[in-house]
Structure 1
Amino acid sequence: MAEETKNASIIVPRCMLWSYILNGSMGFVMLVTYCFCLTDVQAALDPEINRSGFPYIYVFQTGTGSIGGAIGLTSIILILGIAGATSFFATTSRQTFAFARDNGLPGSKWIGKVHPRLLVPLNAILVTFGFTILLSLINLGSTYAFNAIISLQLLALMSTYAISIGCLALKRLRNEPLPPSRWSLGKFGLPVNLFAFAYSCFAVIYVCFPVTTPVVVSENMNWAIVMFAGVLVIALVYYFVHGRKVYEGPVVFVKPAEE
């Protein structure tokens, strides 16, 4: 998204920092309030008592004492969910475009195009949108399969975080030079990198566990690690067969100011 932002080297990291500070503070307040209102955990999980099927709706209803109040609070959650999904969708489509632009995906020439009038990677957006619809339909057939896909997404995300942050922290520990930057955490950079790396490694292990026990292979087994290994094998095969011949790594396009 930084490629579509003016003065990105300052604006993007500043927005990232303040989004974590503001959302983390408000999320902590909401978590404390929610736990305070969650007076009966078993009732919230009991389908005979909580007919909505969602524990947070039960908490909203018992906390406000009103169905209308529960609907209002649930609507806020729904709006936030849609907003979050939109931002994830925008980010994923741009990552897909950037990878295709570097010839890292099958059909890169088509996916990596920018629409001449809209000035957005429309083909990458359509590909992302199509895969999102297909993955969402899995939930209609099996909730456990859908949860495995979600775990796979988090596993892949945290793996990339661990690799990139780990490489950066290693260069800092070795006192090796880093590319110049306009925005920096200064002396707090290395501790933040080490904490983020440790958290990413913990998350990689944690998301591979099943969500419930006892584990039944045909019902609630978490197949995320199996799918992750399968995707990794397919990616490696594609790289050695075709990708290494055309992939050149991340590239930088510099647009002259007069254009």
Structure 2
Amino acid sequence: MGYPRKLTRRFRAFDNFAISFTIINIISGIFSSFGLGMNAGGPRILVFGWIGVAVMVLFVGAAMGEIASAYPTSGALYFSAGKLAKRHRGAWSWYTGWLNFVGQVGGTAATDFAAATFIQAFIAMQWPHYHVTTQRSVLITAVILLLQALANTYTVQLVALLNRISVWWLLVGMVVIVVCLIAVPSHHQPVSFVGHFANNTGFSSSLYAGMLGLLVTSWTFTGFDGSFHMSEETVQATVNAPKGIMRAIGYSALTGLVLMLALVYAVRDYAGEASAAAPPVRILIDALGNGTAKLLLLIVIGAMLFCGLANMTSNTRQIFAFSRDGAMPGSRWWHTVSPRTRTPVKAVWLAAVCSLILVVPGWWSDTAFYAVVSVNVVGLFLAYAVPIFLRLRLETFQPGPWNLGRYGKPVAAVAVVWIVLSSVLFMLPQASPITAKSFNYAPVALGAVLVIATVWWFATARRRFKGPVSYGTPDEVAAMDLI
């Protein structure tokens, strides 16, 4: 790919799959957004929407996997955008990289803040006199980010080990939660309950409410570009990275459907649970009792912590690669690698600090915090769309060993259409009446990112950033190899 090697290839096929599976994280995704689905469509959208959206995401993953096989680098999306563009390669690469960066930073911030919220819920269940506040959530999030940065500072073997553990934590945890929800309650909803529709959004249109409910699955299926970003540290990356993406999406779709069904059929008081501060937690308490619910909540919290860790790992590799090509302020700092651990330590701490900066507004306002992190999903999926769209425009695409053959372009076309549709959904109002608190600030946050990137591009970047850098011929690069 034209770069001297700085990172060690210690990730095996399972490790590469594990990072995307952990970032998708069915437990974290479903538990943090289940309440939205209960109010926007109900069980009908939660279950059948999960199936439909998962199929669409498989198209996105397959299109991304084909590109990952052709361009297996840490730069991933922005690198491939620069290589696939016919003209203005620097601009395509620039915008893709910044959308990816902001989306990943927002993802780490949102996941860790959700973990802090659930930690406070657990504490309040254990000690009823504890007072839950957003200020405490911010402080807990800061501690979580510190611990995750420390874990990422050490060798890539530690990160790989933690990701392996996270896979089994998710799978075993899912089985434990499902078995408890099936075996313990004396009453379950009838089979027909899966067709129940609910619209508590405040909007009169059932179609609109149901479309909003699809966001539950879309929110869950983000971050699978992690396998792409870990390419330079994965053995046989041209095959294992795309396989990691597809396996992570496929296994998450199947196991997530089982968990979704278990939660849906365990509902007892639909109105009360849908209006609770944390609906899935309320479902666990009503169905299983306080003691068992607390134990299962620990599984959920652990899953969220693993998710945040994997998010940060993926983010640091994107920062490392983007800086290697001179696109970040202070680039010469962020693409350095520790000679002892062979990890981009400075990029790790930059990722942690940036995520903390996004969390800090939550000290004063929930609305301000959600306005900042709402760009997470939109930023990520738009970054996914750019290289796939550019691949569609090419008359001839040189595929890697893992490819879709003649189905490559049709799959890419479906992926782009779905990304555009889901991105529009993420920017629409999600509750009525629309107030300063209920307003969806995703378009504002996305607009701010694009304005800043555009001003920066025309002010200075277009003269110095031309897209991915080539350090020389394969032989010259091999001579510079640092490992």
TM-score bucket (shorter structure): 0.7 to 0.9
Specify which structure has the bigger relative contact order, considering alpha-carbon pairs within 8 angstroms and separated by 6 or more residues. 2
The aligned length equals 248
Residue 182 (str. 1) matches residue 401 (str. 2): yes
Paired residue secondary structure (1:115): coil
User: Aligned AA for 2:237?
Assistant: A
* Superposition pairs of residues 46-195 of structure 1, within 5 angstroms: 46-47=275-276, 53-64=277-288, 66-171=289-394, 176-195=395-414
RMSD: 2.0
Question: What is the DSSP-based 3-state SS (H/G/I as helix, E as strand, rest coil) of the residue aligned with 1:43?
Answer: helix
1:195 CA displacement:
2.3
Between the aligned partners of 1:189 and 1:167, the Cα distance in structure 2 is 13
AA partner of residue 448 (structure 2): G
Give the distance between the partners of 2:318 and 2:421, measured in 1 at CA.
Answer: 25
The residue aligned with 1:4 is 233
Counterpart CA distance in 2 for 1:214 and 1:27 is: 32
Alignment match of 2:419 (pick from 200, 203, 206): 200
Alpha carbons of 1:243 and 1:17: their partners in 2 closer, same or farther (altered >3 Å)?
Answer: same
1:226 partnered with 2:444: yes
Q: 5+ unaligned residues in a row in structure 2: which ranges? A: 1-229
Residue by residue, what CA displacement relative to the aligned partner does 1:181-213 show, whole Å, maximum 9, x if unpaired? 011133443333222211210121111123321
Give 1:37 deviation, angstroms: 1.1
Q: Which amino acid aligns with 1:241?
A: A
Q: Distance in 1 between matches of 2:449 and 2:305?
A: 28
Q: Aligned partners of 1:126 and 1:103: how far apart in 2?
A: 18
Q: Does the C-alpha gap of structure 1 residues 79 and 192 become closer, same or farther in structure 2, counting only changes over 3 Å?
A: farther
Q: 1:45 to 1:180 in 2, by over 3 A?
A: closer
Q: Is the 8 A contact 2:358 2:373 kept in 1?
A: no
Alignment partners' CA distance in 2, 1:252 and 1:15: 27
Matched, 1:245 2:463: yes
Which amino acid is the alignment partner of residue 256 of structure 1?
A
SS of the residue corresponding to residue 458 of structure 2 reads helix
Shift of 1:104: 0.8
State how far apart, in whole Å, the 2-side matches of 1:155 and 1:78 are.
Answer: 25
Residue 23 of structure 1 aligns with an amino acid whose one-letter code is S
Contact preservation (8 Å) 2:285, 2:293: yes
Moved more, 140-149 or 22-31: 140-149
Return closer, same or farther for 1:39/1:252 CA change in 2, 3 Å cut-off: farther
Q: CA deviation at 1:219?
A: 2.3
How many Å apart are 1:46 and its aligned residue?
4.0
Question: How much does 1:252 deviate?
Answer: 5.4
- Once the 2 structures are TM-superposed, how far is the Cα of residue 14 of structure 1 from its aligned partner? 1.1
* CA–CA distance in structure 2, aligned partners of residues 219 and 92 of structure 1: 29
Return the offset for 1:40: 2.3
Correspondence 1:256 to 2:478 = yes
Aligned-partner residue type, residue 392 of structure 2: A
Q: 1:24–1:46: structure 2 CA closer, same or farther, 3 Å change rule? A: closer
Equivalent pair of 2:389/2:416 in contact (CA under 8 Å): yes
SS state at 2:255 partner: helix
CA contact (8 A) 1:103 1:248 kept: no
Gap change, CA 1:252 and 1:74, over 3 Å in 2? farther
Task: Select the residue among 246, 264, 272 that pairs with 1:43.
Answer: 272
Task: Tell me the distance in 2 between the aligned counterparts of 1:186 and 1:32.
Answer: 36
Percent of pairs with identical residues? 27
Structure 1 length-normalised TM? 0.88
**What amino acid sits opposite 2:290 in the alignment?**
I
Structure 1 gaps of 5+ residues are 48-52
After superposition, residues 20-31 of structure 1 pair within 5 angstroms as: 20-31=249-260
Tell me if structure 2 keeps the 8 A contact 1:103–1:243.
Answer: no
Amino acid at match of 2:285: Q
**Is 1:211 matched up with 2:440?**
no
Deviation at 1:223, TM superposition (A): 2.3
Larger mean Cα displacement after TM superposition, 92-101 or 192-201: 192-201
Q: Deviations over 1:39-73 (max 9, x none)?
A: 322111445xxxxx311111112222x22211122
